Structure 1
Amino acid sequence: MIKRTAIHGALSAALRRSRVVVLVGPRQCGKTTLARELVDESSPNYFDLEDPASLARLDEPMTALAPLEGLVVIDEVQRRPELFPVLRVLADRRPAPARFLILGSASGDLLRQSSETLAGRMERIVIGGFTLSELGEKAEPTLWRRGGFPLAFLARGEAASTAWRKSFIQTLLERDLPQWGVRVPAIALQRFWTMLAHYHGQTWNAAEPARALGVSESTARRYLDLLTDALMIRQLQPWHANIGKRQVKSPKVYVRDSGLLHLLLGIDSEKALLSHPKLGASWEGFVIEQVLAAEPHDEAWFWATHQGAEIDLILRRGDSLLGVECKRADAPRLTPSLRIARQDLGLRRIAVIYPGDKGYALAEGIDAVPLKQLARSEPLFGKSGRH
């Protein structure tokens, strides 16, 4: 059992503060395991909406939920969106006899419903699979290769991990998305998802995928949004600065889980990964996900100009902007792009993350930082990057 101490602590703190907590993450990332550490699945306070018995208990939701006290868990809530108005009424009771932990596997409609109906009453926590800070630095090669889904990472061998990831994609496309109301053929979405894997780390342009699939650009954008809402794709939006330069305005797209990316690219071993043309892009996406999971931030973007200057990730923390550049190199060096990014954007600090062992300064406010620093839960930016 991998202890997810940081997530567990954040969840417990949120439940002390808020009447309703929405825990969102992709399917099979460990949400249910976390919830069952707080409320036993045999308790009358636990509802799994994939269980027919729980669905039957909620045929009359007010009758079922109103008498309960303490913490109430509702898993896979996107299957019953009509519960949100009921939860609003129950959360407004004074004194409040119960608090509610809602688990969901999709972001789009689920989050819109919860934020609109439960405005001022809820707190949202987004989680993914295992991270370096949870597993330790020795796990980094396996975590990168297999991805963070617990059953993929913990599989007995590469073949078993690959088989689990294939089954995960098939189940998501053929069962889960249709249950959430998606009316797109599974084969079309799988072809599109595979195509996205080859765009991993690049700016998004709907025209080429649309032509390749024989669909309109608006349909291609809809497919992208569907996979983003399912927490399979990250659309990293561009940062715009008033600097008088032509800046990239389209988002970058990433397959959020590196193990799913590798499956879609046909990578089934460490040797295949290290010789693949998307090696650098894969490592960049992996590092970005680790940083976003480990480093406190309010918002995140990338930045690029049409003249070639760019930085992989910008984090806003309060009124500070911090930069992250991903370099799969033995010894990263200072580049003109890093200088331009720091000067033009007013970045307080830049961390150039690389797979080495030692941190060192590249210039004032720009440091080379080993990826393993995240595994040790050490801040990337030091005290000067924090409030």
Structure 2
Amino acid sequence: MNNTNYRYPRQAEARVVEGMSDTPVVLVAGPRQAGKTTLVSHIAGQGMRYLTLDDDVTLLAAREDPAGLIRSLDRAVIDEIQRAPELLPAIKKSVDEDRRFGRFLLTGSANLMVLPKVTESLAGRMETVILLPLSQSEIHRETTNWLDNVFAGRIPEAAVPVVGDDMAEIVVKGGYPEALARQTPRRRTAWCRQYVDALIQRDVRDIADIEKQEQLPRFLCALSQMAGQLCNYTKLGGQVGLDSKTAAKYMGVLEHMFLTKRIEPWTDNRFSRVVKTPKLQFIDSGLLTTLAGFSAISSPGDRTRFGHFLESFVFGELLKHATTADSDYHIFYYRDHDKVEVDYVVENTAGFLAGVEVKAAATVKENDLKGIRRLAKAAGRKWLCGIILYDGDITLPLGKNIWAAPLSSLWGNAP
């Protein structure tokens, strides 16, 4: 296993190490090319045997004789486990017979719990750690967690403010390590096309039996034009010649592969005037902008489009912080029947809420507070604070428990 590409410290590393100290099986799950193999190689070192199911011979052995393959292993890393879910019952049997901690370190580029061939549970035997593409905190080598800070009452500030075209460039690049290594939009586009082609040719068939698989690239491009909008499967499918049922199935596949995510609306049971339809978002803004054919802001129209991509970027950052935070958080959105919205609602396990609004502008206007105030009223005693992330460089109070904070505070230091 090669550790030469271990360039960025991953905040999930501590969780993987901790899991291996008291759990027989640890799964690192996330999209392809997010850095899973690099991370587990770094953690495992030379003490564990390494197998990748991207190797055709190893994959054949796993599918033909899963029990025999697992019997031959003492402690092992198994890469891309979703390609041979037949191994999971054999791993379960092996760890039931030998409960030593840290025996198997798995990686998967799909949500294993939705794979049709997984019939036996590893509940109580396996811990799952999500590894998404690099967060800006990891890229800038910052260790503070934005969500933990906010819910602790520490309103973040930007350590080194980033605004304007520099912020746009960060959004366009995204967080895939291989995409970040490409120096030009043209090269990032080439990488993105190859990435999507590889996913469709190699991974989709492993996790779902879908018709018209060749339509997936066009479907992804159609999705890129609707990021941040309410899910309308009839409209989506119509753009590429699919019915709404097939479009919904495609959406599920892409979500299981950690490329997109449906965001559910936040609702209080006592508050009935809330839209119930989920929103669509991409997890990586770099993949999104490349699919949408966006590379830079050169006109006012580009600035409007950029606002949608910026929302996806912020969602990805919040999601990454949620996967590595000390506390548990869930991300929703808010929209009532008056069409008053808040981009993101973050809720902790105690039910307290923080509203996050995203603005591509360098100023915040009175009307920008409307959604936050409506959400605060709906949340009542569970309301914690509202933060408007904007393209500025200082944190300012805008009223009781409402702040404007720089977008770059997402990877800054709390005061």
TM-score of the superposition, structure 1-length normalised?
0.88
**Residue by residue, what CA displacement relative to the aligned partner does 1:151-182 show, whole Å, maximum 9, x if unpaired?**
11111322211111111112222333134444
* Per-residue deviation, 1:322: 2.0
Could you tell me how far apart the structure 1 residues matched to 2:357 and 2:200 are? 33
**Residue by residue, what CA displacement relative to the aligned partner does 1:88-144 show, whole Å, maximum 9, x if unpaired?**
122223552752111111126557877951012221111211111011266854431
Cα 1:142–1:367 change in 2 (3 A) is same
Could you tell me how far apart the structure 2 residues matched to 1:283 and 1:261 are? 10
Residue 348 of structure 1 corresponds to which residue in structure 2?
384
SS of the equivalent of 1:351 reads: strand
Is residue 174 of structure 2 the alignment partner of residue 147 of structure 1? yes
Could you tell me how far apart the structure 2 residues matched to 1:248 and 1:183 are? 30
Comparing 337-346 with 89-98, greater Cα deviation is found at: 89-98
Cα 1:97–1:265 change in 2 (3 A) is closer
Comparing 243-252 with 112-121, greater Cα deviation is found at: 112-121
* Per-residue deviation, 1:60: 3.7
Residue 194 of structure 1 corresponds to which residue in structure 2?
221
Cα 1:20–1:160 change in 2 (3 A) is same
Residue 359 of structure 1 corresponds to which residue in structure 2?
395
Residue 104 of structure 2 corresponds to which residue in structure 1?
100
SS of the equivalent of 1:199 reads: coil
Structure 2: stretches of 5+ with no match in the other structure: 1-5, 141-159
**Residue by residue, what CA displacement relative to the aligned partner does 1:18-72 show, whole Å, maximum 9, x if unpaired?**
22111111111110111111235x87621101113433554544444346444x2
Tell me the C-alpha RMSD between the 2 structures.
2.6
Could you tell me how far apart the structure 2 residues matched to 1:362 and 1:104 are? 44
Cα 1:229–1:318 change in 2 (3 A) is same
Is residue 40 of structure 2 the alignment partner of residue 35 of structure 1? yes
Is residue 201 of structure 2 the alignment partner of residue 174 of structure 1? yes
Cα 1:97–1:279 change in 2 (3 A) is closer
How many matched pairs? 377
Residue 289 of structure 1 corresponds to which residue in structure 2?
316
* Per-residue deviation, 1:309: 2.1
Is residue 58 of structure 2 the alignment partner of residue 22 of structure 1? no
Could you tell me how far apart the structure 2 residues matched to 1:141 and 1:135 are? 16
Counting only pairs closer than 5 Å after superposition, residues 282-361 of structure 1 correspond to structure 2 as 282-295=309-322, 296=325, 297-319=328-350, 320-334=352-366, 335-346=369-380, 347-361=383-397
Correspondent of 2:192 among 165, 168, 173: 165
SS of the equivalent of 2:254 reads: helix
* Per-residue deviation, 1:352: 1.5
**Identical counterparts, % of pairs:** 28
Could you tell me how far apart the structure 2 residues matched to 1:140 and 1:94 are? 51
Residue 261 of structure 1 corresponds to which residue in structure 2?
288
Is the contact made by 2:88 and 2:120 (CA closer than 8 Å) also made in structure 1? no
TM-score of the superposition, structure 2-length normalised?
0.83
**Residue by residue, what CA displacement relative to the aligned partner does 1:276-300 show, whole Å, maximum 9, x if unpaired?**
5421110011011112212433322
Bigger relative contact order (CA 8 A; separation at least 6): 2
Letter in 2 for 1:344: A
Is the contact made by 1:69 and 1:97 (CA closer than 8 Å) also made in structure 2? no
Structure 1: stretches of 5+ with no match in the other structure: 383-387
**Residue by residue, what CA displacement relative to the aligned partner does 1:170-220 show, whole Å, maximum 9, x if unpaired?**
222233313444433343122221111111101111222233333322112
Cα 1:115–1:32 change in 2 (3 A) is farther
